[in-house]
């Protein structure tokens, strides 16, 4: 991986560092934040997610060598893929928010439910990628299709690593 790609990945991942903290702060029972400030936090998180999507698109554009004809065909497919992925990521965000809200009182049953739902979300993402491989391949040749999915997956993994590093393990609750 060249330096340009690595720097861009790190920058994209850095944008995620604040989201879990914001969720945790908003979910802390001792927090005296008003509903208005919690709403602002929700708006901040939505803006952050939008910014991440924009950075992700920039990373893909910078690293996927497309001709003008390919770009004209690819970007609408990419935008649809992103819209479909966003729906799944909304579920992931809701699950993370619920986890943060219940932190400190999570039962064994809730912990199992959390992990089952998390894995189901992961499976939805895999199925979405499988669905889109032939769709992307209709507008891009095989190597560029593979490169797109490699880039998309790498960026997603970097984001997931950033998120995971900020989320405490369930057994750490006292």
12 in Cβ contact with 53 (< 8 Å): no
C-beta of residue 101 within 8 angstroms of C-beta of residue 26: no
Q: What is the pTM of this model?
A: 0.75
Work out the angle at residue 77's Cα, subtended by the Cα atoms of residues 72 and 82, and round it to the nearest 5 degrees: 130
Give the pLDDT confidence of 88-145 residue by residue, as tens digits.
Answer: 999 998 998 898 888 889 999 999 999 999 999 999 999 999 999 999 999 999 999 9
Q: Which of 94, 123, 98 lies closest to 110 in space, CA to CA?
A: 98
Residue 59 and residue 12 in contact, taking contact as beta carbons nearer than 8 Å: yes
Instruction: Decide: residue 25, CB within 10 A, 0-12 exposed, 13-18 middle, 19+ buried.
Output: middle
The mean pLDDT of the chain is 80
């Amino acid at each position: 991986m060249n330096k340009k790609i690595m720097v861009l990945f790190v920058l994209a991942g850095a944008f995620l560092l604040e989201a879990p903290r914001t969720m945790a702060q908003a979910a802390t029972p001792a927090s005296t934040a008003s509903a208005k400030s919690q709403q602002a936090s929700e708006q901040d998180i939505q803006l952050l997610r939008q910014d991440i999507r924009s950075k992700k698109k920039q990373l893909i554009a910078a690293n996927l060598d497309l001709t003008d004809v390919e770009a004209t065909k690819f970007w609408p497919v990419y935008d649809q893929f992103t819209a479909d992925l966003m729906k799944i990521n909304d579920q992931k965000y809701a699950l993370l928010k619920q986890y943060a809200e219940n932190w400190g009182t999570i039962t064994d049953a809730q912990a199992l439910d959390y992990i089952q739902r998390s894995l189901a979300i992961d499976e939805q993402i895999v199925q979405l990628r499988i669905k889109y491989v032939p769709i992307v391949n209709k507008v891009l040749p095989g190597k560029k299709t593979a490169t797109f999915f490699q880039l998309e997956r790498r960026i997603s993994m970097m984001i997931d690593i950033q998120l995971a590093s900020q989320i405490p393990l369930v057994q750490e609750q006292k």
